[in-house]
Structure 1
Amino acid sequence: MGYSRQTRRNRALSSVSTLLLCFLLCISEPSNAQSSPVFACDITGNPSLAGFGFCNTELKAEDRVTDLVGRLTLEEKIGFLGSRANGVSRLGIPPYNWWSEALHGVSDVGHGTNFSGQVPGATSFPQVILTAASFNVSLFEAIGKVVSTEARAMYNVGLAGLTFWSPNVNIFRDPRWGRGQETPGEDPTLTSKYAVAYVKGLQDTEGEDPNRLKVAACCKHYTAYDVDNWQNVQRYTFDAVVNQQDMDDTFQPPFKSCVVDGNVASVMCSYNKVNGKPTCADPDLLSGVIRGQWKLNGYIVSDCDSVDVMYTSQHYTKTPEEAVAKSLLAGLDLNCDHFTGQHAMEAVKAGLVNETAIDKAISNNFATLLRLGFFDGDPKNKPYGDLGPKDVCTVENQELAREAARQGIVLLKNSAASLPLSSSAIKTLAVIGPNANATTTMIGNYHGIPCKYTTPLQGLAETISSRYEPGCSNVACAEADLDSAMALAASSDAVVLVMGENLSIEQESLDRVDLFLPGKQQELLTQVAKVAKGPVVLVIMSGGGFDITFAKNDDKITSILWVGYPGEAGGLAIADVIFGRHNPSGQLPMTWYPQSYVEKVPMTNMNMRPDESTGYPGRTYRFYAGETVYAFGDGISYTQFTHRLIKAPGLVSLRLDQSHPCRSSECQSVDSIGPHCENAVKGRSDFEVHLNVRNAGDREGSHTVFLFTTPPAIHRSPIKHLLGFEKVRLGKNEEAVVRFKVDVCQDLSVVDEIGKRKIALGQHLLHVGSLKHTLNIRV
């Protein structure tokens, strides 16, 4: 999501014009926020609406949609192609703003949601990258359910819409990307599992009619979108050159999972071009894949002003009308903002698009609103109709925000078991750093107004007497107050330095230029550590990783914690981990590279796999074999866990048809579809891996068990690939059995050079930590 150049130009209007525009909007386009909300088809308030078929809840959904579309004039239909949908008063339909956001809590970034005296704030969970570090699928869904409850509660009092353009399921491909914080990380399996769980939590159809939605989620930004603003390369004009292997192997899987497994109600196409075509005007990507192959039950929406961008910035079309026509014919249903609404009538008159295409688009939009109960009148006495302000910022919701942050925090270094700190042994604590007393920094981007904030300083001070020096006035830290910080550290029993970044360094429209701690932070950290007389704990608040090799190797810096952007309760969660009330179990969802990596890898190179001829090293743990500062999955605990293999096959035989060519000649791989995929492993295409996991330490803790595979080195396959993960909680000396179900044709297949899935024949290596098991697949 974001604003195009046109929107920024609009924001630069003179103050007089701006005031006039605001006045016109106020009288002609009411906000969703109102003291007495108006609901479509409110027959109680307007009995004459009972005669409209689209208001009749007894009819089939498709019949209701057909009835509504048939009652609209062409001009009225065009009013439903933009995110600020015009109401039709003669049909009892109020205006509706489609744009609401719920990335990690109900947000007021979109125009469809507002906070007021009735609901002054909503629960602000950790930014997605930290939640993903928990590797806890049930947590992903639980957060989604709380967010959708608060969203519905706000809708019922006229403060929010029902369509939320979240989550962001792009792959965190490059460590400099400013929006990596919004994503679940670099791995397609983790991102897919997060996407499905969060979507299910938001839409919350369990126990209800699957065709009814609590709120409508939206997976974005489709597709191969992960360059915002790097060395003057802008997302609005960037052409992502992506080979088919990387497209099907890396960029598409999370979106496919959203639609196929999560039954998401919407997909958002991105600003960028892919292989020369704007994604919002590519019929193969929209009609062909999303709606054709994946069978989307919902609507496709553009990123804000994307249709405008393809005309004004990309010069993909010669006229605005052509841009509108190409996007509609490609399969776009809804344009975020007003461009399509402004030019669709002229596009019809010019014969570039016909009314049937418009009917098709708005039918998809109306069908989604029907699933949400938008046309069912006042939501009282209906599903979710009893929700209201009392259900927002509850004690339970805020405790879940604290728990989510605790589960995501990653302990990267802990020399001589210096953490957890003992509140009885440590009498004075120095809290230093530009993020030590942070509030808004903790919630990252796409945030709303939190219920409240607890800063790291406040959280730590609740446990032990703490003294504070910022050391730097801000994260950019052009000058460091070394003397004050060093004096405080030298007179304290322990030091916690809270460093890192904020949205002035990384966010939408702002990619990073390097992987160093900003400004003078490294100098501040090093000098404070030199004079400290006790443990020194480095806490890094950020979305992306850093080259902190200096801190990793500095014996005076005893512990390192990465806390992402931990949300409204971040200070409490950080203190819980530092003082041992919570045993850390988070693990990195992305690789932390050395600075040398980004010095030789342009963000604009979309290739995932290495290229020996040019020295290009490849990307993410799946394809990059070079030096790392910390690796994907790194994270330690205050206890120790061991693994023991109980069950796994050593051989899988694929039973090919007599006519299959690989029965008579040597093959490296076979297709991952066909009769042999139903006949593998004694009549089944799956098997199980059973592992014994034991807590061998002296305290309770949670542990994520990762099952990776290293396939045979054919088709430029990954070095290793995450098949699955399970999180278990074990007491001291407790053990449990973790079971993974592995589908031979799906999980052990790789994508070949032309985008087809193949089962590699030969030796596959399954591994969990240091435990390795060889599996041979043959025909």
Structure 2
Amino acid sequence: MATKLYFLICSTFLFHFTIASRNSPSALTITQNPNFNTTVRNYTHVCHPDRFSDLGLDIKEFAYAIRRFKCDVRVKDLIDRMTLTKNRGNWETTRMGFRESDSQCTWWSEALHGVSNVGQSGSIATYFDDVVPGATSFPTPILTTASFNQSLWKKIGQAVSTEARAMYNLGHAGLTFWSPNINVVRDPRWGRALETPGEDPYVVGEYAVNYVRGLQDVEGTENTTDLNSRPLKVAACCKHYAAYDVDNWLGVDRYHFDARVTEQDMKETFLRPFEMCVKEGDVTSVMCSYNRVNGIPTCSDPKLLKDTIRGEWDLHGYIVSDCDSIQVILDDHKWLDDEPEDAVAQALKAGNSVKMGKVKEAEIDKALKNLYIVLMRLGFFDGSPQFENLSKSHVCSDEHIELATEAARQGIVLLKNDNGTLPLSTKNIKTMAVVGPHANATDAMIGNYAGIPCQYTSPIDGFSKYAKVIYKTGCGDVLCKNESLIYPAVKAAKKADATILVVGLDLTVEAESLDRTDLLLPGYQTQLIQQVATESNGPVILVIMSAGGVDITFAKNNSNIQSILWAGYPGEEGGIGIADVVFGKHAPSGKLPLTWHENDYVDMLPMTSMPLRPIDDLGYPGRTYKFFNGSTVYPFGYGLSYTNFTYKLLSSTKSLHVKLTKFQHCRDLDYTDGSYKPDCPAISIDDLKCGDDDHRVKLELEVKNEGKRDGNEVVMVYWSPPSGIVEAPIVELIGFKRVWVGKGQSQKVDFEFDACKSLGIVDYRGYNLMPSGGGKLVTGDGLLEIPLHIKFER
């Protein structure tokens, strides 16, 4: 029989059977197997009938190979045929229709914002060459999220999985992808902000659900009742679980960091996106992170893994450790002074630990079951006919390149636009100075986990489509340590009808394993901007490429800088995306998914302080827009337009009356001194019949475009809990919709909220409670407040 350990360790996740030519699915090649007296051919999938007949085996005798059986039945048969020992491995795997000598571990691929060649070393799962020279590189998630467009997030996932499946058919990719990254950005210094959907756990969760559905869903099978048999296009992985957002800050790194997190913050912020990813996205995998949480390595924590992901959330898939997390547990965390077998046993329930009595063989069987059921769902054993037609033409298609361009356009955020300077007109602008370290950006636009893009359109290329471009770098690179290149940029600005300054950060400043220590532009970039703005002949437009916020208060207050745009890391077509917004081919509608703090924020608290709520005794401010009430450069959700939208309330739920039974009891809450405290402050949401009409809150708005241009508006609705509750969020985003409104026209926008999901708060004990009293819904940039009273009745 096949060795269980071989397939568990090597295939954590995907063992790979050689396929001669995926360009022609029917093609077979013949090789000689030295361990079995017959010729063996390579097949398009594991359970190809000819594989068994060539081996003199009757496929009907192997339940795992019979497609009409349920996945769990097939997988049980497969695992029951395996043993722990490897003494008869080669002969017996051949008897099963497998050839162990042809197995490869190709389970690690990445698809953060496009198919990437980052992945498993030694036997690379995904790679590019003359056959597949590149794949579409979309904007990094932080910019895509700024569109606040769920359908766009899903559509990008669908495009990425189409390219992944096409590359798999060509033998250039695996089927399991460690994406997306759904960690909440708790601190503005975190180097991996570019990979994430921002600082709001609800937005992060919504992004996760839509992107994962785009990657995984097979059309027509989305609502399959048996989730263990639901077909998959590719397998996604939500990472890094949990409370991971310190990489390398002032000598503190992710391999040694112990995140001290309250139950309140854990449930309310750090776990919420993962819960949504599992429950609503039906993701097939969750990755545990390198760090510890409250002293315990996340990959060894049964409460986080077994009790929560598998038990409470009912994951239909597998849990994977982050790369060498097991070694980190052993060497860096030195957890319980473990031996290697102990670390593996605690994390994966596998390895030599069985012989040493540290774990039962049944635990290995469970782990293998989780792996192989996903393989079955991917069609690895039986093929996926609906995807066999995908080929090279589906990678870097015109449709996908245009989608990447549109994603950049939709995500770009207009931060300043004095006197309606933008959009520029081609009638008035004949010559442009495009200057700055990102003026000719290529690699910088695609961030990390990016692979090789289909092509690049840099900012100077993008603007060249609209006017004659004079290009000067102004800085040698983003670090801008030499001011000698500033003067040529100033001279160029004096000659041009308009000046575009393209500045910001890149992976030398913010990246995996590299956190920031300040929120300023590096080196002489500020000096470059100020001098160019002072001397420019025409209007000055500042474009910031970054993930995290930058303190550009000086530019915000400088009247010589008429307009400011944030472009994130806009992907391979970022240059045309920026130019299209500047010249009005596309009206900006993006909103910031992160708070842009002033630089002194980082002097108020260390990055290693995990609480999100303020700590008054230490003078620590709150984190994220939900708990920080100080001044900012630009707040979360900020973004201007080329037109003007007004909001009008049409109808709303005025009050929510909750009938309590004798089995539902009031829960206490702490209130600030002098605040009104209801007789029944709160009840447990777990005690409510959530989902019925009695717990629905409805809101109908009219959004009117009062300006002279068509445009998209992101309508954001926040919940402000009843006043006086200690440690309640100031406000919390509970819904958003992106709508198109023609000039002079109006659009009705309806929202319906489940009170259990949207109006709850988490108290310091970790209970999810619904508070009573007078709260309010807030929308229209805070200009429209709608009272909502919650009352409990016996």
Q: TM-score, normalized by length of structure 2?
A: 0.89
- 1:686 equivalent in alignment to 2:696: yes
- Distance change (3 Å), C-alpha of 1:260 and 1:488: same
Alpha carbons of 1:370 and 1:77: their partners in 2 closer, same or farther (altered >3 Å)?
farther
Task: Supply the distance in 1 between the matched residues of 2:770 and 2:341 (Cα, whole angstroms).
Answer: 47
The AA in structure 2 aligned to 1:566 is P
Q: CA deviation at 1:454?
A: 0.4
Residues 10-59 of structure 1 deviation map (CA, whole Å, 9 limit, x = unaligned): xxxxxxxxxxxxxxxxxxx9898975685322334553462432221121
After superposition, the Cα gap between the structure-2 partners of 1:88 and 1:522, relative to the gap in structure 1 and judged at 3 Å, is farther
Tell me what 1:538 maps to: 542
- Stretch moving more, 175-184 or 204-213: 204-213
Q: Look up the equivalent residue of 1:737 and give its one-letter code.
A: K
Aligned residue for 1:363? 369
The offset of 1:675, in angstroms, is 4.6
> Which residue is equivalent to 1:163?
176
Give yes or no for the alignment of 1:416 onto 2:436. no
Could you tell me which residue of structure 2 aligns to residue 137 of structure 1?
A: 150
Q: 2:131 aligns with which of 118, 136, 157?
A: 118
1:385 and 1:591, CA in 2 relative to 1: closer, same or farther beyond 3 A?
Answer: same
Q: How many residues align?
A: 725
Separation in 1, partners of 2:87, 2:501: 57
Partner residue of 1:652 out of 638, 642, 656: 656
Partner of 2:318: 299
SS of residue paired to 1:772: strand
Aligned to 1:328: 348
Q: Distance in 1 between matches of 2:691 and 2:363?
A: 41
For the residue of structure 2 that corresponds to 1:310, the secondary structure is: helix
Name the amino acid aligned to 2:302: P
Alignment partner of 1:283 out of 288, 302, 311: 302
Query: Deviation of residue 483 (structure 1)?
Result: 1.5
Corresponding residue for 2:200? Answer: 187
Tell whether the 8 Å contact from 2:109 to 2:119 is kept in structure 1 after alignment. Answer: yes
Q: 1:55 to 1:662 in 2, by over 3 A?
A: closer
Question: Percent sequence identity over matched residues?
Answer: 51
Q: Could you say which residue in structure 2 is the equivalent of 1:333?
A: none
Report if the CA contact (8 A) 1:189-1:723 is conserved. Answer: yes
Q: Does 2:753 correspond to 1:742?
A: yes
- Per the TM alignment, residue 676 of structure 1 is displaced from its structure 2 partner at its CA by 6.3
Paired AA for residue 454 in structure 1: T
8 Å Cα contact 1:108-1:114 kept in structure 2 = yes
Q: 1:178 aligns with which of 191, 196, 209?
A: 191
Residue of structure 2 in register with 1:456 after alignment: 459
Q: 1:568 to 1:395 in 2, by over 3 A?
A: same
Whether the aligned pair in 2 keeps the contact of 1:34 and 1:159 (CA below 8 Å) is no
SS at 2:594's partner residue?
A: coil
Flag the 1:678–1:515 CA change in 2: closer, same or farther, 3 A: closer
Distance 1:515 1:78 in 2: 60
| Cα pair distance change 1:643/1:78, threshold 3 Å | farther
Paired residue secondary structure (2:777): strand
SS of 2:785's partner is strand
Q: Which residue of 1 aligns with 2:486?
A: 482
Matched residue SS, 2:715: strand
For the residue of structure 1 that corresponds to 2:433, the secondary structure is strand
CA drift at 1:599 = 1.2
In the TM superposition, what is the alpha-carbon distance from 1:90 to its structure 2 partner?
Answer: 5.5
* Partner Cα distance (1:671, 1:661) in 2: 8
> CA 1:77–1:228 in structure 2 vs 1: closer, same or farther (change >3 Å)?
farther
Shift of 1:663: 12
Equivalent position of 2:271 in the other structure: 252
Aligned to 2:227: none
Whether 2:60 is the aligned partner of 1:41: answer no
Contact kept, 8 Å, 1:33 with 1:159, in 2: the verdict is no
The residue number in structure 2 matching 1:514 is 518
For 2:458 and 2:658, the matched residues in 1 are separated by 57
Instruction: Indicate whether 1:55 and 2:61 are aligned.
Output: no
Query: Residues 598-747 of structure 1 correspond to what in structure 2 (within 5 A)?
Result: 598-658=602-662, 660-662=664-666, 666-675=679-688, 677=690, 684-712=694-722, 713-747=724-758
Deviation at residue 776 of structure 1 after TM alignment = 1.1
Equivalent-residue separation in structure 2 for 1:619 and 1:350 (angstroms): 47
2:112–2:449 CA contact under 8 A, matched in 1: yes
Q: Distance between the aligned counterparts of 1:631 and 1:568, measured in 2? A: 28
SS at match of 2:386: coil
**Given the superposition, is the C-alpha separation of residues 675 and 414 from structure 1 closer, same or farther in structure 2, using an over 3 Å criterion?**
closer
Q: 1:307 to 1:389 in 2, by over 3 A?
A: same
Q: Displacement of 1:685 after TM fit?
A: 1.1
1:88 positional shift: 6.9
- Structure 2 residue 156 is the aligned partner of structure 1 residue 152: no
Deviation at 1:655, TM superposition (A): 0.9
Structure 2 unpaired stretches of 5+:
1-14, 23-41, 225-229, 669-677
SS of residue matched to 1:287? helix
SS in 1 for 2:67: coil
SS at match of 2:188: coil
Q: Structure 1 pair 121/293, CA: closer, same or farther in 2 (3 Å)? A: same
Say whether the 8 Å CA contact 1:766–1:774 is kept in structure 2. yes
1:314 partnered with 2:300: no
Distance in structure 2 (CA, Å) of the matches to 1:675 and 1:623: 27
Which whole-Å deviations, capped at 9, do the CAs of 1:622-658 have from their partners, x for residues lacking one? Answer: 0000110000000000001010001112222111125
* 2-structure distance, mates of 1:78, 1:179: 46
Query: Offset at 1:662?
Result: 4.4
8 A Cα contact 1:69 1:77, kept in partner:
no
Secondary structure of the residue aligned to 1:654 is strand
> What 5-or-longer segments of structure 1 have no aligned partner?
1-28, 80-85, 330-339
Are 2:413 and 2:640, in contact at CA under 8 Å, matched by a contact in 1?
A: yes
For residues 500 and 667 of structure 2, the distance between their equivalents in structure 1, rounded to whole angstroms, comes to 64
Deviations 1:219-263 (A, max 9, x none): 000000000000010100100000000001111110000000111
Q: Which one-letter code corresponds to 2:406 in the other structure?
A: E
3-state DSSP class of the match of 2:408?
helix
Aligned to 2:473, which of 463, 470, 474? Answer: 470
Report SS of the residue matched to 1:687: strand
Q: Give the residue type in structure 2 aligned to 1:353.
A: V
In the superposition, relative to structure 1, how do residues 31 and 359 fare at CA in structure 2: closer, same or farther (>3 Å)?
closer
* Structure-2 change in CA distance of 1:56 and 1:496 (3 Å): same
Q: Whole-Å Cα distance in 2 between the matches of residues 452 and 407 of structure 1?
A: 20
SS at match of 2:231: coil
Displacement, 1:318?
2.6
Map of 2:673 onto structure 1: none
Which of 236, 252, 259 pairs up with 2:255? 236
CA distance in 1, matches of 2:626, 2:217: 33
Instruction: Find the partner of 1:105 among 96, 100, 114.
Output: 114
Structure 1 equivalent of residue 25 of structure 2: none
Q: Note the C-alpha offset of 1:77.
A: 12
Q: Does 1:499 align with 2:510?
A: no
TM-superposed deviation, 1:359: 1.2
Work out whether residues 434 and 474 of structure 1, in 8 Å CA contact, stay in contact via their aligned partners in 2.
Answer: yes
In the TM superposition, what is the alpha-carbon distance from 1:386 to its structure 2 partner? 1.2
CA separation of 1:30 and 1:143: change in aligned 2, threshold 3 A: closer
2:74 is equivalent to residue 74 of structure 1: no
For 2:730 and 2:93, the matched residues in 1 are separated by 54
CA shift, 1:194, in A, is 0.5
Instruction: Measure, in 1, the Cα distance between the counterparts of 2:149 and 2:442.
Output: 26
- Residue 12 of structure 2: aligned partner: none
Quote the Cα distance in structure 2 between the aligned partners of 1:285 and 1:193: 21
What's the secondary structure of 2:416's corresponding residue?
Answer: strand
* 1-structure distance, mates of 2:691, 2:328: 47
Query: Aligned partner of 1:360: which letter?
Result: K
1:370-428 Cα deviation digits (max 9, x unpaired)? 11011115x4xx12111111111110010000000000000000111111111110111
Q: 1:430 aligns with which of 409, 428, 433?
A: 433
Question: Structure 1 residues 32 and 695 mapped into 2: Cα distance closer, same or farther (>3 Å)?
Answer: farther
Aligned Cα root-mean-square deviation (Å): 2.1
How many Å separate the matches in 2 of 1:703 and 1:634? 12
Q: Is the 8 A contact 1:33 1:113 kept in 2?
A: no
Q: Out of 666-675 and 690-699, give the one that drifted further.
A: 666-675
